[in-house]
């Protein structure tokens, strides 16, 4: 707009104020590029603005500061803060007394720092109403204090943290970065660090959907401490790098107060708790309860669903995994002889891919979940849970709930030749299914697989697997060279018809898992075909022969070769009870029978089927 030549004549203070306003507008909007206006002198000698003869008209531009659709006013004081309204800081603020809030205020730190150096135990006290804290500056501003509580939230008050940093107080008792005394703390962004974390008590509520709680320490609950019937809902955000004696990330207490049974509740549907540390419960400590005539209180409650994760936490030394400590009624202290309420991890909804929880129990064998089977349609608990101590493993109890059980080693025997053997688990709890994979070298084939317990008991295998007993086991196998098939003569000889007066040959076979079978004669099959059962021995006779002499025979035995001599007339050829198969036989007649008759025979091989006929001492089979 055009200005008259002596528009502000006679008003030197307003003229100077306008000059200051123009300088401020140029700082807020450096890209505007206003032209410099000439300055004249008024009747009293005061400077005045004059209109330009050429160029564009000068216009006033207002620049706002806003978050989530809320506009903020500038706060320029450096020693106090507003009581109500929406403000952003333009400079650092140092407070000598508590900032007490009884109304609603929205404050943007704007990269600035609020420091409290007073003597009161509360740097910021939200008595009632609501405090919203923002900061979108690349270098986040902070509220820092060395007193007991940086921010204290009373009953009927709410603190919404969208950004910024709360810091400057490591807790040794009830000290904390944020103390919730009956009110509500809603954290969607920002950082709480180098303080006592969050301390919730007196029926408070803490909802966390974003932000980070990190680098805090306390005796219990380095990141978050919950007591007095409080509830912590975590759907996002990260709790990491905190430390304590118990509950490095989160501590849940259960206790009696004013005759009322009080239990803390932690509902976790998302977010991550990792890289925290504590002597017990590096990630989360869930207290057990107790039932006694003088006092009684239930266990604390941890309920999970979704993609929540408590993993990668350690003990105080950082040497062993320590994630969720599931208390078991007084946790084995001097009151443990009283009836106890064991804590459980309640599965409140379906668990998604990526959900992961390490588990420790003071009495390391037992059930630690409730509702798992129902909410996961009977999934394997080991899909989502793992034991922090590798002496134990996660398995399902009789009701399909997650439990910790003792594991026993599964060892593959040394010195196995001509092949390899692998198992899918190096340790397993009783009842687990163990799969065996045996692979033969070239020109060899698998012969036997044996599983023996530490006490020598042989464990049955089926389809390459076995069920783990409550003891250590060793798995071994043998491999044999693959036999070359015997060439079939062309044409294949056929035995001559047996004259009526020729006596039959009787054969008695001993077969794997079947034992000694009934004798057969007249050309019938002795043994089995198509069942993968090895023949281990034979006995041959020629009953009712009129000529003198008889029948003699010998076998080629697995791992031993040909027997040194032939045996005669019903004596054992081969072995029994040693798991060694007959691989070939030689049969012949002796005495007068050898001059009157020929004996024909053939064998059925597992790999090659029926092989060629042999006669009068020739070899039949593979060797």
C-alpha to C-alpha distance for 565 and 554, rounded to whole angstroms: 7
Q: How far is CA 215 from the centre of its chain?
A: 24
Specify the pTM: 0.65
Query: Is the pLDDT score of 84 beyond 50?
Result: yes
**pLDDT tens digits, 548-557:** 889 999 999 9
C-alpha to C-alpha distance for 445 and 478, rounded to whole angstroms: 9
- Per-residue pLDDT, averaged over 188-213, amounts to 94
Per the CB < 8 A criterion, the answer to whether 98 and 134 are in contact is: no
Find the Cα–Cα–Cα–Cα dihedral 124, 126, 129, 134, rounded to 10°: 40
- Residue 492 pLDDT grade (very low, low, confident, very high; cuts 50, 70, 90): low
C-alpha closest to that of 221 among 201, 196, 238, 202: 196
**pLDDT tens digits, 101-115:** 999 999 999 999 999
C-alpha closest to that of 586 among 608, 562, 550: 562
Query: Is the pLDDT score of 120 beyond 90?
Result: no
In this structure, of 67-71, 97-101, 563-567, the range with the lowest mean pLDDT score is 67-71
**pLDDT tens digits, 277-322:** 999 999 999 988 876 656 667 889 999 999 999 999 999 999 999 9
C-alpha to C-alpha distance for 495 and 598, rounded to whole angstroms: 9
Query: Is the pLDDT score of 545 beyond 90?
Result: no
Query: Is the pLDDT score of 27 beyond 80?
Result: no
Cα 469 to Cα 228, 233, 449, 459: the distances in Å are 46, 42, 17, 8
Sign of the alpha-carbon torsion through 173, 310, 323, 367: positive
Query: Is the pLDDT score of 80 beyond 50?
Result: yes
- Residue 6 pLDDT grade (very low, low, confident, very high; cuts 50, 70, 90): very low
C-alpha to C-alpha distance for 200 and 202, rounded to whole angstroms: 7
Question: What SS3 class is residue 152?
Answer: strand
Helix (H) or strand (E) holding 13: helix 12-28
Give the angle subtended at the CA of 213 by the CAs of 154 and 146, to the nearest 5°. Answer: 60
Question: What phi, psi does 595 have (nearest 5°)?
Answer: -85, -15
Query: Residue 101 has what pLDDT?
Result: 96
C-alpha to C-alpha distance for 21 and 199, rounded to whole angstroms: 46
- Token digits for 603? 């064998």
Sign of the alpha-carbon torsion through 139, 142, 146, 149: negative
Query: Residue 330 has what pLDDT?
Result: 53
CB contact burial 299-324 (16+ within 10 A = b; e otherwise): bbbbbbbbbbbbbbbbbbeeeebbbb
**pLDDT tens digits, 438-465:** 999 998 999 999 999 999 999 999 989 9
- Residue 256 pLDDT grade (very low, low, confident, very high; cuts 50, 70, 90): low
């Amino acid at each position: 707009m055009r200005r008259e030549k002596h528009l502000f004549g006679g008003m030197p203070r307003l003229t100077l104020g306008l000059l200051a306003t123009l300088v401020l507008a140029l700082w807020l909007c450096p890209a505007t590029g206003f032209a410099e206006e000439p300055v004249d002198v008024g009747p009293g000698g005061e400077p005045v603005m004059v209109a330009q003869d050429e160029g564009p008209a000068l216009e006033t531009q207002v620049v706002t500061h806003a978050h989530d659709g809320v506009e903020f006013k500038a706060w320029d004081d450096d020693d106090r803060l507003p009581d109500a309204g929406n403000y952003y800081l333009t400079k650092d603020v140092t407070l000598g007394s508590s900032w007490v809030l009884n109304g609603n205020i929205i404050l943007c730190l704007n990269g600035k720092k609020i420091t409290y150096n007073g003597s009161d135990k509360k740097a910021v006290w939200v008595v009632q109403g609501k405090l919203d804290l923002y900061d979108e500056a690349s270098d986040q501003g902070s509220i820092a204090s060395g007193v007991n509580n940086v921010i204290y939230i009373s009953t009927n008050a709410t603190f919404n943290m969208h950004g910024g940093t709360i810091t400057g107080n490591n807790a040794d008792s009830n000290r904390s970065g944020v103390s919730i005394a009956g009110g509500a703390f809603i954290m969607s962004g920002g950082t709480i660090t180098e303080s006592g974390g969050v301390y919730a008590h007196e029926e408070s509520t803490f909802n966390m959907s974003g932000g980070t709680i990190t680098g805090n320490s306390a005796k219990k609950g380095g990141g978050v401490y919950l007591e007095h019937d409080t509830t912590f809902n975590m759907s996002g955000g990260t709790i990491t790098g905190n430390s304590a004696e118990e509950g490095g990330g989160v501590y849940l207490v259960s206790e009696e107060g004013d005759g009322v049974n009080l239990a803390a509740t932690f509902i976790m549907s998302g977010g991550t708790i990792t890289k925290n540390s504590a002597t017990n419960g590096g990630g989360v400590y869930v207290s057990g309860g107790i039932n006694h005539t003088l006092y009684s209180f239930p266990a604390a409650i941890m309920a999970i669903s979704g993609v929540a994760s408590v993993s990668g936490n350690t003990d105080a030394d950082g040497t062993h995994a320590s994630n969720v400590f599931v208390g078991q009624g007084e946790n084995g202290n001097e009151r443990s002889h009283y009836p106890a309420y064991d804590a459980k991890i309640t599965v409140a909804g379906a668990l998604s891919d990526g959900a992961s929880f390490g588990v420790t129990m003071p009495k390391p064998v037992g059930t630690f979940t409730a509702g798992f089977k129902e909410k996961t349609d009977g999934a394997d608990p080991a899909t989502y849970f793992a034991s922090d101590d590798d002496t134990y493993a996660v398995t399902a109890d009789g009701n399909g709930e997650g439990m910790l059980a003792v594991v026993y080693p599964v060892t593959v025997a040394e010195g196995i030749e001509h092949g390899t053997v692998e198992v899918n688990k190096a340790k397993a709890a009783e009842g687990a299914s163990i799969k065996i994979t045996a692979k033969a070298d070239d020109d060899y084939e698998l012969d036997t697989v044996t599983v023996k317990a530490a006490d020598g008991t042989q464990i049955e295998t089926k389809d390459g697997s076995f069920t783990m007993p409550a003891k250590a086991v060793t798995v071994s196998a043998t491999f044999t060279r693959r036999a070359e098939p015997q060439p079939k003569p062309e044409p294949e000889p056929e035995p001559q018809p047996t004259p009526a007066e020729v006596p039959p040959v009787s054969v008695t076979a001993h077969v794997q898992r079947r034992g000694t079978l009934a004798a057969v004669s007249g050309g019938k099959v002795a043994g089995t075909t198509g069942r993968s059962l090895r023949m281990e021995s034979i006995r041959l006779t020629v009953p009712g022969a009129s000529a003198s002499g008889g029948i003699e025979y010998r076998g080629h035995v697995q791992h031993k070769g040909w027997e040194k001599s032939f045996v005669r007339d019903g004596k054992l050829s081969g072995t029994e009870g040693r798991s060694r198969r007959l691989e070939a036989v030689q049969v012949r007649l002796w005495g007068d029978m050898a001059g009157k008759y020929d004996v024909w025979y053939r064998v059925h091989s597992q790999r090659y089927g029926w092989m060629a006929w042999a006669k009068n001492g020739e070899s039949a089979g593979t060797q």
